[in-house]
Amino acid sequence: MSTQDQARALMVRHQHMVKNREHCLLSRAAAEVGMPAELTIPNSNLGKADSERTHYTPNQVGLS
């Protein structure tokens, strides 16, 4: 596997992890306010970087 292929695989895996983390957090928030989770999550925005907010790593996110 070339260096470019490894870098791409790492990037894709990271993006997938971010998408899953955001989905989980949004689902929990929706459940807390009594909304059905499947109606609150716009799939087009999940996992995409938002330049207006601070990016976080898994170390900075507490999971309960």
Residue 63 has pLDDT above 90, yes or no: no
pLDDT at 26: 87
Q: Quote the longest CA-to-CA distance of the chain.
A: 48
Asked whether the beta carbons of 32 and 40 are under 8 A apart, the reply is no
If one counts the domains in the chain, the total is: 1
For 47, the domain range is: 3-60
Q: Place 49 in a pLDDT band, splitting at 50, 70 and 90.
A: low
CA distance linking residue 15 with residue 46, whole number of Å: 9
- Kindly report the pTM of this predicted structure: 0.52
Average pLDDT over residues 19-28: 90
